[in-house]
Amino acid sequence: MTMVERQEPEQELNIALLIDADNASPDHLDEVLLVLGELGTINIRRAYGNWQKPALKNWGTLTGKHSIIPIQQFDVVKGKSATDMRMTIDAMDLLYRGHVDGFGIMSSDSDFLPLAQRIREDGLQVYGFGTAKTPQSFQQACSRFFDVAALADSNNDTSDNPIDEDLLNVLGAAYKASKRDDDGYAPLSELGQRAKAVSSFAVRNYGFTRLSDLIRAVPNFEVKTGEDGRLAVKRLR
């Protein structure tokens, strides 16, 4: 009797979402959960802050709704927050236990730059979520950084975000580094991978959900479907 080999279902990545409630707005939590849910399973959800502060009231109402564990951290010194330190310690504990495949850090605070760098040294992905004013140093330290306001726009099917020079430089460098055919077309998937490798590039930051839609909106590039059904891109100028 021939035994049929069973294939085990592919296990999703275990993602830990750590929220700096002092420096993140609860208004964008739904978008953050949506994006991270596409990347893996968010089994660990924690929000850090001094929950005695009236400013965190709206966060408190969401912790139960989204099964987020609120971590209390009192302000040890007036005007100074110990939240960052507590959040960093917990992140390192999770890292050393070895059961987490990636981290989501919801904060616009550059103090998490060393944490993001340290996590990536161990080969794990770091997904940052903050405002457009988040310091570039923290944005670039993340594997991918998402502008929470742009996430809201992409979920509303808008694409009015400007195609800026930085984006053109990233796409241009990725295209130049990609393998191209005799007609100058490069696999769209390879271009996307190379763009993510050199920056915190994320399609959603420009109001799109798919890379192909973003590239089509850039007049400098052309997208076509190859004979194998895969998308390819060519730089026009």
**d(Cα 83, Cα 62) in Å, to the nearest integer?**
19
**d(Cα 36, Cα 190) in Å, to the nearest integer?**
22
Residue 9: what pLDDT? 47
Q: What angle do CA 83, 32, 137 make, to 5 degrees?
A: 60
Residue 135: what pLDDT? 93
- Region class of 123: left (phi > 0), else alpha (psi between -120 and 50), else beta: left
Among candidate residues 78, 93, 74, 77, the one with its CA nearest the CA of residue 18: 93
- The DSSP bridge partners found for residue 221 are 235
Q: Is 145 helix (H, G, I), strand (E, B) or coil?
A: strand
Dump pLDDT digits (tens) for 122-147: 999 999 999 989 999 999 999 999 99
Dump pLDDT digits (tens) for 151-195: 876 555 545 555 677 788 888 888 888 889 888 899 988 888 888
Instruction: Report the C-alpha dihedral over residues 107, 113, 119, 121, rounded to 10 degrees.
Output: 150
Residue carrying structure tokens 């457009």: 132
Query: Domains, the chain, ranges and CATH?
Result: 14-155 (3.40.50.1010), 165-235 (3.30.420.610)
Dump pLDDT digits (tens) for 78-87: 655 688 999 9
- Residues 128, 134 contacting (CB under 8 angstroms): yes
Dump pLDDT digits (tens) for 217-231: 888 888 888 878 888
Dump pLDDT digits (tens) for 88-129: 999 999 999 988 999 999 999 999 999 999 999 999 999 999
